[in-house]
Amino acid sequence: MKKLANIEDFSREGVQLVQIDPAELLPLPPPYDKMEKPPIRQLTDEQRKRMDASLDGVVAIGLTPPATPEDEKAFIEKFLAGLEKLFTVENNWTFLQPLIHTLDYCVKCQICSDACPTFLASGEQEIYRPTMRPEILRRIISKYIKKENFILRKFKASDIDLNWQTLARLAELAYRCTLCRRCAQVCLLGCDNALISREIRKIFSQQMGIAPKEIHEKGSVQQLKVGSSTGMTPAALKNVIEFIEEEIEEKTGRKIKIPVDKKGADMLLIHNAGEFLAWPENLEAFAILLDAAGVDWTLSTEIAGYDSVNYGVWYDDFQFARVAILQSQAAKKLGVRKISLGECGHAHKAGIVIADRVLTGDLNIPRESILPLLEEIVFSGRIKLDPSRNNFPVTLHDPCNMVRLMGIVEPQRKILRKICPQFREMVPHGVENYCCGGGSGFAITQSTNFPDWRSAVSGRMKMKQILDAFQEVPGPEIQKYVCAPCSNCKGQFRDMFEYYGVWKKSGILYGGLVELIVNAMVDLKKPFIQWEWH
């Protein structure tokens, strides 16, 4: 494997810094130890001319090289202006404290490297080490912002050449971290190197207008424009809801009217709109369960009020705040008492925790996770459940945002322990879980060969964990279920399982939590879960 020899190489022009070697990736158990295809597709010559891939041959952003030296100079100056703003209260009060703390106090002891699934799964590629991005940023700050003299820079080993190539690589490198914050969790000094990835993304977005298309243009911008990052308009939403009602009737014989824009409802439930299009069974299960439990709830058709996603949380404070404000305004308009977030990890963290210090006054409407309500329904006895209906091997994936970053650990486990006789934990799990590999926008980023990278590298540790959890029933003859109460994680599992051929080779399906609850409902004639790959 071609590895980065020293940090100064980061600025070398005209070369690809590293090449991912399949032989050095984290080994997977059979039959996944021998892949027929190269793990990451090579870019074509035309793509390489158009998009910078000089970091690792992979493209998430794919910046186009500047046409002239003047363009390069302007690019660098704009970046440096943004970097200065990162350290001002008015521009970056949001993360100033943790940012400065990390840059000032990380001693580069590297224990966080051992906690990073991407670094480990890559065969310990130096560029993916959690301390690499902060180190590059720290050197740029030393030389170009603080303008420390040559002797001091030598003493602190903080020299770096800043050219377009350095910044293009840094921009890409910020999108090789899933922001799972496992590195921060083990740091005894309270530093957070994952946050540095986010702050680098912030400079590129808020100062330079640079972000992966799927996250910005097709993501948060689209959500603000039409109502959802999926592109689904309020009118289309109503059609989808009708379709879901028909599906429920077809599957269960029940006629359920899904409440939409119900004024004065107790609870506004906001789902990740990806569920409406990719996994409608999740919404069907919610509708069946909440109807049976007699919950007073509603969906909204307001802009952003029917899509809980908030991609800004990964790269841009303003895009984040805009979406959070619209979601709260939707709830305010309906006059609900509270907002509840469906099965989506980053929407949980964004909507419940992070939005907390942006929403003030009457926009600060109480917000909570749906999981404690599900727990209450399951344990209250309001609905008769038969665990034998879920008598197949089940494991639980912990979405980082919901678990490590929010502390919602037990409700989902209590439910699974009660209704799934063959439930087993992954190792490690709970707040020490590994990211699915699709965190921080990766699951939706479809640029060129990036999906290969996230299946082969960032998701590899999770892939191994899932296979290990089912190691005594490895073949496809026994159907197994990975419960992932998060739309982004499900998106990653869909792509990653497809990439490795998991359904055919191992018979592992993925799905949400509420589907398992409804599958165990005694008064449903047929099983709710349909064992079909989709």
Partner 1 sequence: MGTLIIALTYVAYVVIVAVYMVKVVGWLRRPPHIRWDLYPVIHEDHYRYGGSYYEQQEWWTKPRSKNRLRSILFSLKDNFYMGEYYKRNPLYWLFLLPWHLGFIFIIAFHILCFFAAVTMVGGLEISAASASSVGKLLYYILLTTGGFAFITGTFGSIGMIFIRLFDRSLRIYSMPMNYFNYIFFLIVYVSGLFAWLLLDPTLVEYRAYWLGLITLSPPVLHPMTVLHIILFDIFLIYLPFTRSTHYITRILAYFFIRWDDEPNQRGSKMEGQLNNLLGQKVSWEGPHIAAGKTWVEVATVPGFSETKKDSK
Judged by CB under 8 A, the chain residues 47 through 76 that form the site for partner 1 are 61-64
Cβ-contact 511, 390 below 8 angstroms? no
Q: Is residue 278 within 8 Å of residue 288, measured between CB atoms?
A: no
Report helix, strand and coil shares of the chain as percent, to nearest 5. 50, 5, 45
* Residue 125 in contact with partner 1, rule: CB under 8 A: no
- Shortest distance (Å) from residue 321 CB to partner 1: 4
Distance CA 22, CA 42 (A): 13
Taking CB under 8 A as the criterion, the residue among 42, 44, 110, 446 binding partner 1 is 110
Q: Tell me: does residue 354 bind partner 1 (CB under 8 A).
A: yes
| Residue from the set 358, 386, 424, 478 that interacts with partner 1 by CB under 8 A | 358
Q: Which one of residues 133, 143, 169, 181 is an interface residue with partner 1 (CB under 8 A)?
A: 181
Q: How far is the CB of 307 from partner 1 (least distance, A)?
A: 14
Question: Which of 145, 321, 473, 478 is the binder for partner 1 (CB under 8 A)?
Answer: 321
The answer to whether 135 contacts partner 1 (rule: CB under 8 A) is yes
251-280: contacts with partner 1 (CB under 8 A): none
Site membership for partner 1, residue 409 (CB under 8 A): yes
Q: Of 145, 224, 278, 293, which one interacts with partner 1 (CB under 8 A)?
A: 224
Least distance from C-beta 290 to partner 1, angstroms?
14
423: which strand partners? 394
Phi, psi of 102 (to 5 degrees): -65, -45
Per rule CB under 8 A, is residue 335 in the interface with partner 1?
no
* C-alpha distances out from residue 252 to 148, 245, 335, 336, Å: 70, 10, 32, 29
Contact status, residue 116 vs residue 128, Cβ threshold 8 Å: yes
Is residue 353 a contact residue for partner 1 (CB under 8 A)? Answer: yes
How far apart are alpha carbons 438 and 177 in whole angstroms?
10
Between residue 467 and residue 486, which ones bind partner 1 under the rule CB under 8 A?
none
User: Using the rule CB under 8 A, is 172 a contact of partner 1?
Assistant: no
Indicate whether 369 belongs to the interface with partner 1 (CB under 8 A): yes
Q: Is 356 among the residues that bind partner 1 (CB under 8 A)?
A: yes
In this chain, which of 116, 191, 288, 466 binds partner 1, going by CB under 8 A?
191
Among 404, 454, 462, 464, binds partner 1 (CB under 8 A): 404
Q: For 53-121, give the DSSP string.
A: -TTTS--SS-PPPPSSHHHHHHHHHHHHHHHHHTTSHHHHTTTHHHHHHHHHH-----TTGGG-HHHHH
**What's the CA gap between 169 and 250, in Å, rounded?**
52
Minimum gap (Å) between residue 506 Cβ and partner 1: 29
Contact pick of 188, 250, 522, 532 for partner 1 (by CB under 8 A): 188
Asked if 2 is part of the footprint of partner 1 (rule: CB under 8 A), the reply reads: no
CA 479 to chain centre: 26
Question: Does residue 332 touch partner 1 according to CB under 8 A?
Answer: no
272, 344 Cβ separation under 8 angstroms:
yes
Residues whose CB falls within 8 Å of the CB of residue 125, separated by 6 or more in sequence, listed in order: 1, 3, 4, 18, 20, 56, 119
**Where would I find the beta strands (DSSP E) of 197-236?**
none
Contacts (CB under 8 A) with partner 1, residues 299-318? 316-318
Does 107 participate in binding partner 1 (rule CB under 8 A)?
Answer: yes
Q: How is residue 484 written in tokens?
A: 């992932």
Nearer to partner 1 among residue 300 and residue 519 (C-beta)? 300
One residue of 43, 76, 195, 269 binding partner 1 per CB under 8 A: 195
Q: Which of 54, 178, 193, 207 binds partner 1 (CB under 8 A)?
A: 207
